[in-house]
Structures are given as C-alpha cells and as structure tokens.
Amino acid sequence: MLPASNRMRSAPQFRETTRRGVRIPSGAVVLHVLATGVSEEPRVGLTISKSVGNSVVRHRTARRIRAAFASCVNDLPRGSLWVVRALPGAGESESLHNDVVSGIARARLKLESRP
C-alpha cells in the first residue's frame, strides 16, 4: 500500500495541483501533476466521484489506484504533487493499473521537458 508519508490530505494542495498542474488523461483516469521544487516526499491524492459506482466499487478503485502508485512511488520526482481523478467506468476497467502506470510515465516525461 501507499505509505502515509506519500498521501495528500490537504484541500489547498488538491486545489493547487488540479489548477496549476499538468493534466495527463490516461484511459480510465486523469492525472494532475505539479512540481513544487521542495525536497520532500511525493504526495498522491485521489478523487473518486459517485459516478464511478457505489461505495464498494469506489473503495475498490481507490485501493487499485493506490497499489499502482505504491509500485512506483520511489520513481516519482521528489516534491511532486499528484492528484488522480477516476473517470466513470474506472471501477470496471481491466487495465486500471496499466492506465495509472502509463499516465505516470507520460507525466514524468512532460515534467522533465518543462523549464
């Protein structure tokens, strides 16, 4: 699972990341990434609306997304903020893990190309 030190919990961080960050659509999810320049652990936040499904489906989807991030959290740039928004249908997606991992790879390339 994703360590507690890598979880985003503050509403201002969510807001700042979704407004100022890079937006990467990837299959059943949309990733928003913001490089803060601060030398701290990368933080990940999830946004899963009721359009994804009932409570059981939403929580299962959240666990699957967290597991995908946990597999590559050591490769994320330090000081980066990540918000993952699950789209409707993400709960039934067979390729959710691959969508998240490929989105992370594309976001890292985009962040590295920015000044």
C-beta neighbour count of 55 within 10 angstroms: 8
pLDDT tens for each residue of the chain, 115 residues long: 788 889 999 999 999 999 999 999 999 999 999 998 888 899 999 999 999 999 999 999 999 999 999 998 888 888 899 999 999 989 888 999 999 999 999 998 988 887 6
CATH 3.65.10.10 fits 4-113, yes or no: no
Strand, coil or helix: 8? coil
- pLDDT value, residue 114: 72
In contact, 52 and 91? CB cutoff 8 Å: yes
| Prediction pTM value | 0.90
In contact, 111 and 75? CB cutoff 8 Å: no
- pLDDT value, residue 102: 94
- pLDDT value, residue 38: 82
Q: Where are the domains of the chain?
A: 4-113
Which letter does DSSP use for residue 115 in this model? -
